[in-house]
Structures are given as structure tokens and as C-alpha cells.
Structure 1
Amino acid sequence: MPSQQTVRPRAIFLDIDGTYADHGLAPAAHVDAVRTARRLGHLVFVCTGRPLSMVPSHILEAGFDGSITGAGARVELGGEVLKDTRFDPDLAALIVETLDAHGAAYILEAPEALHGRTGVDQRLREVLGPIFAGRPQHDGVLSTDVDPLEDILGPMQYSDDLRSTSYAKISCFDSPVPLQQLVDALGPQVGLIPSSLSALGDRAGEIFMAGTHKAVGIQVVEEHLGLDRADIVAIGDSANDIEMLEYAGVGIAVEGGHPAVLAVADRTTAGPAGNGVALAFEELGLLG
């Protein structure tokens, strides 16, 4: 450990969207903060609801000690996969059959790829196009040419029958029936959180394996490395960050984030346009 280390080593877990990056881009201050903290002996991990197949390489270029993806379903540390959980095959098929029976537009998320029914890309363009069209392309410090629709559709593989697909999570963007109603009918093994695209309302959301969330992934890293929970820091902004902020020794919410995230946080920081991750690192003494 470098001699200039002045605080005890910490393990920091960073949500991506709306926390570490925005509009597909991480500010230079965030990249520098990650690299500096690691150089000083701290560990820094990506902890995202995105499956690995949706985490762009330019996000990972800062250099991280590992990643938790699929909101806790998959954990990778130093190139070693410590956890890769998927829906039970019978339940996975039932969920697909249920969504198809009600004409829902959805994506099955797996580490290796996203899976959708043939033609769902056109449906998503119709549903999401107007929402994304209203988003600013430039946000203060940040600017990028990343197309949010292509961010979703780029890793997609299409099939007429998805019942045998192996996956860990589902993003549903358009259900003619309130999505909670469908999830309730599937039983206690299945959970639902609201979509981060609030304009979609109750017809959208993320369907996940009950009991799987970001804090579960953090625990895998904690046990593998022998970390002290008090030294765990988590930063996030969305509904799927609630458990990790509650679990961490220090939970930091992004200003303007989901109300439930703000309610469980120990402190807040700015969003990516305000270099919030770098500010939080500085306040915790992680940058020397």
C-alpha cells in the first residue's frame, strides 16, 4: 500500500446511469477519481442494473477492480466470475409465455446478450422514441453522441420463440396490462421495480429474481475479499440502488434521485454533470 495512504482502504460500489455516467458518458473527473482512489489502495467496482452485455467498454476503461451487473445477478472480480444467477428454466419460460400472452414489449437480459422477440425493436422505437427525443443531448459538463435507443438495441439478438432463453432480468417497456398485475400472478419468486423511465408508468418496469439485488452482489465481493462492511461505500440514484445504499457502511444518493434512495442515504452528492462521484470521493478522503 502506498505510503501516502491517509485513510483506511475502502471498497466503493458505483451505479452507472445517473451516477458515474450520464447520456452514455462519464466525466473526466469521475475517471480520474476512480484511478486516483485505486492508486491509493482503495477498491472501486461498477455496480449496475445493466447486464454485462449493456456495459460499454468506454465506461470500463477507467479501470475497475470488478463488476456487479444485472442488479446483483452477476459478480466478476479480477476476471473471475464469482456469481452468475439466472431464472430457473421453467420459471423463465412461464414469464415469457405470460408476457407474450398479454402482448408486452420486453427484453430478456443476460450477460452475453440481450434477447427480444422478432419485431420488438420497432415496438421499442415507437414507445421510447418520443421519450428519448425530449432528452437533452448536452448536459453541462457532459456531451455525447450516444443514441439511447441504440444503446439498448445494439446488443440485441432476435428470435420468434424466447421460452428456452437463459436470462437474469427483464426490462418491460410496454404492457397493455399493469405490469404489477402480471408479476403478482407469477408468484413470490418474481419481483418488480419501476422503470427508470417514469413516463412509461405502470406498464413498464424491471422484472427480477426475488431476493436478488445489488447488495447481494456486494456481499459476494465482501465475503470473497474479507471486507469490513463499515468500509463499504455505495453511490446510486435509482430504485434498484436502495438495498445497496442501505447495506453499505456509507450510502450516498445522487441529488434528485429516487425518493426512496434519498430516504435511506447517509449523505448526498451531485449528479454526473456536477462531478458528484469525484466530490464524494474527495469528501471521504479517498483522493489523498
Structure 2
Amino acid sequence: MTGSPKRAIFLDVDGTYADHGTVPEAHADAVRAARRGGHRVLLCTGRPVSMLPAPILAAGFDGVVAAAGAYVSLDGQVLADERFPDDLATAVRHVLDEHDVAYLLETPEAIYGPVGVDARFTAARSAAPQEILDVLRMPGDLSAVRFAKISYVDSPVPIAGLRALFGPEIGVLPSSYADFGDSAGEIHLARIHKAVGIETVVTALGLTAADVVAVGDGHNDLEMLAYAGTAVAIEGAPAPLLAEADLVVPGPADGGVARAFEQLGLLDGAASR
């Protein structure tokens, strides 16, 4: 691999790098090997950094694009930390409260929700993901929380209806946790998506989109796959992602990320032999 062009590699977490929070050892090994080979490897996730526990980060990464592009860190330096403007945040929370939607306000420091929201998230999925419960705060008054993104469940209003209620400044996508069902989703600033965060990293590294490898499986991965010079989708991903893909690999249970790295020549010489 000596002399091969160096890449910036961006990995979605849920359903791509990890399966329900568990990282296959083959995936961690592939990340380490790619970094030994001189490539930059970052997580690119809808999760806030507060919801990235140590086991997910254990392989070592050059940085993180989190909150679906709103938060970016590289080599220990925060390059972006975009949050909802106060007036827009108030308006969105008002709509959710008015329609009795269970929601979480996601920040880099913690996740915040109305009192009792933990029980509603647990009921929506038999058990709320532990990575949510570990960082969840329910202070009662949420007016001072400056958040980057919202996750919601148990909505009586479908996604299309929420989009209409919020207006064009707000985007709404199906939940990254597919087992939460059709009444769950993610709310974000419409101008922010994963490709925005990736471009921040690419600019800082002096690279171009042609140097980017992006791997993802969910609705919020569409822009990053469209942006990347090499787009990798996970089998069973939504049709628009598969249409963008240069390569399709299996999910985490079958080591799809490791297979992609091998096929794309991203592993260092020792790992490739």
C-alpha cells in the first residue's frame, strides 16, 4: 500500500459500524489498520457526542462528525458546534408539547427531555437504549437547553405532518433506530446534514470530496454518500442510498465495514496480507 493516496473515511455508527451499540472486532481492527496506513478515520453519526460511549470509540478515531453534521471535532479540536437558534428552538418544542410527542433534546454535553420521557421511550421499544438513559437529564424546565438535534417517539402526527407544522427551516427524518417504528424520527436544522460536517473536515485537512470514503445505511446518510468520492451503502439500506453507492456491503453482523476497507485497499500492508 506504500504510495497509495490517503483518504478521509467517514463511518455511520448505528447499523453500519455498530449493531445496537456493539462494535464487531473486525470493524475495530479495520479502523486501526486504516489509520496505520495513513488514512484519517472519523465517525459520522446522527448521535450527539454525549451518546458515544467508550466501547464505540475504543478503536481510536481522528475525530467525529456528530449530531448529523452539526458538531465536528478533528484531532481533539472542535471545528463546529451548531445549535438551534433560540426562537426556532422554542417554536419546535411548542409544537411537540402541543401534540404530546415524546422527545429528547440532544446536546454534546447530555440529552434532555420532559419529566417522564424515559418511560415513553422505553414503552416505544420495550427498552430504551442504555446509551440514551446513561446521559438523559429531565430537569423540568427545558427552556435554557441549547440543542443541535431532537429525537422523538410516540408521535400522533406523521413525519409529513410534522414537516408541515415546522416549516422549511426544519428537517424531519425517520429514526435511526428502526425498531422505534413509524411514529419516531429525528428533527434537525434543514441546512445541516452530514455532508456539511464532512466538508468542514475535508477543508481542514486540505483534501477534496474525491478523497472521501463514506459508509452508511440510514436516511440521514444520503447527503454524505452523495458528497463522497467513494460511497458505500449497507445491504438493505433505503433505495436512494443504494442508488448513490459505488459499493454495497453487508451489515455489522457480517463485518461489512471490514469488507469495504479490504475491497477499497484501505488496510495497511500488514492487515492486507
The CA distance in 1 between the partners of 2:182 and 2:22, in whole Å, is 29
Residue 166 of structure 1 pairs with residue 146 of structure 2: yes
The CA distance in 2 between the partners of 1:172 and 1:120, in whole Å, is 10
C-alpha distance 10-150 of structure 1, shift in aligned 2 (>3 A): same
The CA distance in 2 between the partners of 1:73 and 1:176, in whole Å, is 27
Which residue of structure 1 aligns with residue 176 of structure 2? 196
Residue 112 of structure 1 pairs with residue 92 of structure 2: no
Which residue of structure 2 aligns with residue 227 of structure 1? 207
The CA distance in 2 between the partners of 1:232 and 1:86, in whole Å, is 26
Q: TM-score, normalising length from structure 1?
A: 0.89
Deviation at 1:259, TM superposition (A): 2.2
Q: Among residues 145, 162, 165, which one is paired with 1:182 in the alignment?
A: 162
Alignment RMSD, CA only?
1.4
Which residue of structure 2 aligns with residue 138 of structure 1? none
Larger mean CA deviation between 168-177 and 238-247 belongs to 168-177
Which residue of structure 2 aligns with residue 277 of structure 1? 257
Q: Tell me, yes or no, if the aligned pair for 1:75 and 1:217 is still in contact at 8 Å.
A: yes
The CA distance in 2 between the partners of 1:199 and 1:36, in whole Å, is 32
Q: Among residues 14, 18, 27, which one is paired with 1:17 in the alignment?
A: 14
Deviation at 1:177, TM superposition (A): 2.2
Residue 85 of structure 1 pairs with residue 82 of structure 2: yes
Q: Among residues 100, 113, 126, which one is paired with 2:123 in the alignment?
A: 126
Q: Tell me, yes or no, if the aligned pair for 1:108 and 1:116 is still in contact at 8 Å.
A: yes
Q: Tell me, yes or no, if the aligned pair for 1:180 and 1:202 is still in contact at 8 Å.
A: no
Which residue of structure 2 aligns with residue 145 of structure 1? none
Q: Tell me, yes or no, if the aligned pair for 2:111 and 2:137 is still in contact at 8 Å.
A: yes
The CA distance in 2 between the partners of 1:6 and 1:275, in whole Å, is 27
Deviation at 1:199, TM superposition (A): 5.5
Q: Tell me, yes or no, if the aligned pair for 2:83 and 2:146 is still in contact at 8 Å.
A: yes
Deviation at 1:7, TM superposition (A): 1.6
Q: Where in structure 2 are the equivalents of 1:248-287 lying within 5 Å?
A: 248-287=228-267
Instruction: Please state whether the residue corresponding to 1:117 is helix, strand or coil.
Output: coil
- Between the aligned residues of both structures, percent identity stands at 53
Which residue of structure 1 aligns with residue 5 of structure 2? 8
Q: Tell me, yes or no, if the aligned pair for 2:68 and 2:220 is still in contact at 8 Å.
A: yes
The CA distance in 2 between the partners of 1:216 and 1:98, in whole Å, is 27
Deviation at 1:262, TM superposition (A): 1.2
Residue 206 of structure 1 pairs with residue 186 of structure 2: yes
Which residue of structure 2 aligns with residue 67 of structure 1? 64
Deviation at 1:150, TM superposition (A): 1.8
Deviation at 1:183, TM superposition (A): 3.0
Partner deviation per Cα, 1:26-59 (whole Å, 9 max, x = no partner): 1111111111111111110100000001111111
C-alpha distance 58-197 of structure 1, shift in aligned 2 (>3 A): closer
The CA distance in 2 between the partners of 1:205 and 1:156, in whole Å, is 18
Residue 50 of structure 1 pairs with residue 47 of structure 2: yes
Instruction: Please state whether the residue corresponding to 1:233 is helix, strand or coil.
Output: strand
Deviation at 1:209, TM superposition (A): 0.3
Partner deviation per Cα, 1:121-177 (whole Å, 9 max, x = no partner): 111122221xx6xxxxxxxxxxxxxxx532222110002221221001011101122
The CA distance in 2 between the partners of 1:114 and 1:274, in whole Å, is 31
Amino acid at match of 2:64: S
Q: TM-score, normalising length from structure 2?
A: 0.94
Q: Tell me, yes or no, if the aligned pair for 1:183 and 1:192 is still in contact at 8 Å.
A: yes
Which residue of structure 2 aligns with residue 140 of structure 1? none
Instruction: Please state whether the residue corresponding to 1:46 is helix, strand or coil.
Output: strand
The CA distance in 1 between the partners of 2:46 and 2:162, in whole Å, is 21
Q: How many residues align?
A: 268
The CA distance in 2 between the partners of 1:256 and 1:79, in whole Å, is 34
Partner deviation per Cα, 1:242-262 (whole Å, 9 max, x = no partner): 000010000000111222211
The CA distance in 1 between the partners of 2:95 and 2:114, in whole Å, is 14
Amino acid at match of 1:181: G
Amino acid at match of 1:149: P
